[in-house]
Amino acid sequence: MNHKSQSAMEYLMTYGWSILIIAVVLGALAYLGVFNPLYFAPKANSGSCQAFRPNGAGTSYDINLLGACNGEIPQYVANFQNQQLANVYSNNPFGFPSGNVFTIVAWIYPKTYGFQGIFSFGSGCNYNTATLLLWNGYLDYDGCGNNKGSNLLAPLNSWNFVAMSLSGNSVMFYLGGSNEGPYTLPYTPDIAPQSMYIGYDMEDPFSGYYMFNGLIADVQLYNSSLGQNSITALYQEGIGGAPIDLHNLVGWWPLNGNANDYSGNGNNGVPANVVYTSSWISSYNPP
């Protein structure tokens, strides 16, 4: 081996491991999303944007948004880890739609497949209950026997925009920029609002069987059946988007560090065993 070859080998032996370690570290940082520009983007604080009802909770006129409502991503999201998040009882009559017309919107990050409630409201296990559910990963309407599933599969370990709208016994499902339906339910539901749950299905609230395992953010509830254009607009706003139909908005839980309702209707949630995490950004890809 000549002198130049020997010098080259000595260089590789001396610095090769250092170069390899640096490459591994850079790869790990890229995998964790440290180079994601969202890490350096402005973050919205809790309540930085909210609906203001000058005429009081339950009113639907002269409503406007107050604060920084420019779509900044939230500082925190809610980590459920198979735990119940919130309940709001019927002693506040302005928090829930009644009848059979509504829309549920949320951003979710499922970690496992199973039977997991995203948002549920009504009065127990009967046709007066409505739940947006992940049924082994597929979006599903659960009405305690009055069920209808979709073919829209929410991928694990990634953020998904989901929505479900109901009008009469006709239900539509939305996942990201895709939609499916309308489907006809076996029975026309008649929702009797008494309580609300984020993170599980109230059909079986105490067994733990229908609890969500993952992250949830920006939950919105409307007392109207939003059309495809409105829901697409909500999706394109991203995870920090504000409600799009203030007159029909009855609940808005960004879950940005708390379970408060920022719709102006005062339906604050009562969290249990929930962790609000700021280390969620690496997995989020804006629409």
- Most confidently predicted of 18-22, 200-204, 240-244: 240-244
d(CA 88, CA 196): 5
Give the contacts of 40 (CB within 8 A, at least 6 positions apart): none
Mean predicted confidence (pLDDT) in 206-224: 84
Residue 192 has pLDDT above 80, yes or no: no
Query: What's the rounded mean pLDDT across residues 233-242?
Result: 95
Q: Is 116 helix (H, G, I), strand (E, B) or coil?
A: strand
Higher pLDDT residue, 124 or 152?
A: 152
Structural element, H or E, at residue 232: helix 228-237
Domain assignments of the chain as residue spans, ordered by start: 1-31, 43-283
Quote the DSSP letter at residue 18.
Answer: H
Mean pLDDT of the 58-79 span: 89
Task: Judge whether residue 15 has pLDDT over 70.
Answer: no
**Which tens digit of pLDDT belongs to each residue from 86-111?**
555 444 555 566 678 999 999 999 99
Please tell me the distance from the alpha carbon of residue 154 to that of residue 152, in angstroms, as a whole number: 7
pLDDT of residue 32 exceeding 60, the answer is no
Rounded (5°) CA angle 92-96-141: 145
| Cβ atoms of 143 and 127 closer than 8 Å | yes
Single pTM value for the model: 0.85
Average confidence (pLDDT) over 190-207: 73
Burial of 95 (0-12, 13-18, 19+ CB in 10 A): buried
The CATH class given to the 43-283 domain equals mainly beta
